Structure 1
Amino acid sequence: MMHTDLIDQDDLISQLRGIGLDVPSGISAEQACAHAVRGLNDDRARALRQMVEKMLKGGATILPAVRQAIDQQLLPALATFKQGQTKA
């Protein structure tokens, strides 16, 4: 029997909490990502970027709802934040 690591919404919330974000329990991956990008600052953006890179480069399987939330919430917000920083 093969064991595969999966990243579900609870894992995502746990990882967001692990970088110091106060994310409520019982919310969807999309809601967690939307919550994470509120009030982005340099430190939060850096921590989120590192967390996402680690998740995407790791060997775990990211469940579709989590991947969609990352693609639709976190990545665009981080890109927009970075563009705003380079223009300033």
Structure 2
Amino acid sequence: MMHADLIDQDDLISQLRAIGLEVPSGVSAEQACAQAVRGLNNDRARELRKLVEKLLSGSATILPAVRQAIDQQLLPSLATYNRNMHR
């Protein structure tokens, strides 16, 4: 039987915590991403960017709710932060 790697909201929360972000248990992927982008600074933005690149370029399947949270929360917030830092 083939085992597919899946990234669900628990995996996302675990990976956000692994880069030093405080994310409460039991939240949705959207809530976790919203929490992750609060109070962005250079270090947090850099670590989040690396995490997003790793998730999106990896071979694991990202569940739709997690992908939507990344697309709607993390990517726009990181882009806005990056734009504001280069003004």
- After superposition, residues 9-88 of structure 1 pair within 5 angstroms as 9-87=9-87
Q: How far apart, CA to CA, are the structure 1 residues paired with 2:74 and 2:68?
A: 10
Q: How far apart, CA to CA, are the structure 1 residues paired with 2:24 and 2:30?
A: 12
Amino acid of the residue matched to residue 53 of structure 1?
E
Structural RMSD (CA): 0.3
Amino acid of the residue matched to residue 70 of structure 2?
I
Q: How far apart, CA to CA, are the structure 2 residues paired with 1:72 and 1:2?
A: 31
Instruction: State the Cα deviation string for residues 2-53 of structure 1 (Å, max 9, x = none).
Output: 1100000000000000000010000000000000000000000000000000
| Number of equivalences | 87
Percent identity among equivalent residues? 77
TM-score by length of 2: 0.99
